[in-house]
Amino acid sequence: MRLSTPHDRPDHGWSVAHHHRRDTTSMRVTHGLPLAGKTTLGIGGPAAVFADLQDLADFPEFVALADAFPGAPTCLGAGSNALVADAGCSSPVLRMNTRGVRFVGEAADGRTLVEVQAGHPLSDLVDTSVGHGLIGMEMLAGIPGTVGATPVQNVGAYGQEISDMLVEVRAWDWVSRRHVTLDAATCGLGHRTSVFKGSDRWTLLTVVFALRKSALSAPVTYRAVAERLDVSVGSRVPSDEAVQAVLAVRRGKGMVLGCSDADRRTVGSVFFSPEVTSAQARWLQDEGASINRFPDGTSRVSASWLMRRAGFALGSQVAERVRVSYLHHTLVADEGASSAGFTEAIGIVVQRVLEHTGIRLKPEVDFLGDWP
């Protein structure tokens, strides 16, 4: 589906985005900035050039700056899925810090179209949409990061994912060197993946979603959320109550940033939930694992369950200054951790889970910067 251009489209209600001519730039460029402070893991060496983009109107300036370097630049949102190399990043780093949400019309199926700037916090978009009686992303409450990063790994949780609501993205294509509009089908969204995952070809600038008008949430499909709400699986509840229940369940697992001081250096899940065959699923269920079925038709076991099964205890040290979270079976960093230590810990977990279960975990975290 194609939308009209920003110039011929009326604003519907709220608008925070500003596209106007400017005589000065708001893009802040820094040299040698340590990237550790720009990621939730707190790991990573310096960026040769770090540009903080607050206004999309300044993007051409970043393109001009990046042209002085070989290869494509590196894009960073809130750094909540990023493991940056200790050596830092020799390509220019673009931090997407643009904000803005606009109603831009109605889709053919009656859903409301919402256009969002790439740097806009996802949590704010969830709150804003629920506040305006729109559903579709209420189960994504508590996921940190920016909207521009959400198509990259088809962000999802508790039965909802970006592919349910994505209409199109507008991006800069560093190969063809022009602005492009990619519809949802072209984005190739799968389970925590897309054409953007692991690729530096595109910088996503704005994202358009279609959200349904309703005061009630989508059906609650996860037992833990249903239990928290004291309703049966499949029930629909006021969407703000669904948000609160999801947040409570996530906090219990340390999956909301800032909910646990000790485990604050986190990227959430470090590993993908691996796909399992029906024979493996039967064996895992007999062993007590819960198997979740995903919209792409795959059955998957949680990486956390596999880590527990492989004998990793909560809070246990895995590599230097890298350990299992106190609340959930995932890796977190302690003060002074390095990317070398974190990758060593990833390797140890992959190996031990393979030995204990025959299943090979793959990292979900994105490796950014100059790796040996």
Catalytically active residues are 192, 269, 364
Closest separation in Å from C-beta 324 to ligand FAD: 15
How far, in Å, CA of 238 to CA of 26, rounded? 40
DSSP state letter for 193: B
Determine the Cα–Cα distance for residues 44 and 81; give it in Å rounded to an integer: 13
Residues 19-58, one symbol each (x = binds ligand FAD by CB under 6 A, - = not), give ---------------------x------------------
Query: Considering beta carbons, is residue 167 or 204 the nearer one to ligand FAD?
Result: 204
**Looking at residue 171, what DSSP letter applies?**
E
Say how far apart CA 242 and CA 136 lie, in whole Å.
11
- State the minimum distance, in angstroms, from the CB of residue 233 to ligand FAD: 19
Size of the site for ligand FAD (CB under 6 A): 34
- Determine the Cα–Cα distance for residues 105 and 314; give it in Å rounded to an integer: 48
Q: How far is the CB of 366 from ligand FAD (least distance, A)?
A: 4
Give backbone dihedrals phi and psi of 114, rounded to 5 degrees, phi first.
-125, 125
Handedness of CA 45, 48, 53, 56 (dihedral sign): negative
Binding letters toward ligand FAD, positions 182-201, x by CB under 6 A: ----------x---x-----
Tokens of 271: 């590993």
Of 137-145, 183-191, 212-220, 331-339, which part binds ligand FAD (CB under 6 A)?
137-145
- What minimum distance in Å lies between the beta carbon of 23 and ligand FAD? 26
- Residues in 241-280 that interact with ligand FAD by CB under 6 A: 255, 257, 266-268
Helices (H), 187-329: 223-229, 239-252, 278-286, 303-309
Gap between the Cα atoms of 164 and 119, Å rounded: 21
Interface pick for ligand FAD out of 33, 155, 245, 301 (rule CB under 6 A):
155
Per the listing, tokens 């001081």 go with 261
Q: Please, what is the minimum distance in Å from the beta carbon of residue 363 to ligand FAD?
A: 12
Q: Determine, following the binding rule CB under 6 A, whether residue 96 of this chain makes contact with ligand FAD.
A: yes
Q: How far apart are the first and last CA of the chain?
A: 42
* Contact call for residues 129 and 136 (beta carbons, < 8 A): yes
Among 149, 167, 218, 303, interactor with ligand FAD by CB under 6 A: 149
333 binds ligand FAD (CB under 6 A): no
- Provide the minimum distance between the beta carbon of 9 and ligand FAD in the complex, in angstroms, as a whole number: 22
Which range touches ligand FAD (CB under 6 A), out of 53-61, 75-83, 237-245, 280-288?
75-83
Rule CB under 6 A: say whether 146 interacts with ligand FAD.
yes
Residue 163 interacting with ligand FAD (CB under 6 A): no
Task: Give me the least distance between CB of 110 and ligand FAD, in Å please.
Answer: 27
Beta bridge partners of 157: 160
**Phi and psi dihedrals of 210, rounded to 5?**
-115, 120
Cβ proximity to ligand FAD, 250 vs 352, nearer residue = 250
Q: Exposed, middle or buried, 356 (CB in 10 Å: 0-12/13-18/19+)?
A: middle
Phi, psi of 301 (to 5 degrees): -105, 145
Among 82, 125, 211, 332, binds ligand FAD (CB under 6 A): 82
Question: Exposed, middle or buried by CB within 10 Å (0-12, 13-18, 19+), for 9?
Answer: middle
Chain center to CA of 172: 19
Q: Would you say 96 or 319 has its CB closer to ligand FAD?
A: 96
Q: Of the two residues 122 and 284, which places its CB atom closer to ligand FAD in the complex? A: 122
Measured from the CB atom, is 146 or 304 closer to ligand FAD? Answer: 146
Regarding 88 and contact with ligand FAD (CB under 6 A), the answer is: no
Which tokens go with 50?
């770090």
Cα separation, 268 vs 321, whole angstroms: 17
Which residues in this chain contact ligand FAD in the complex, by CB under 6 A? Answer: 40, 75-82, 96, 118, 143-146, 148-150, 152-153, 155-157, 192, 196, 202-204, 255, 257, 266-268, 366
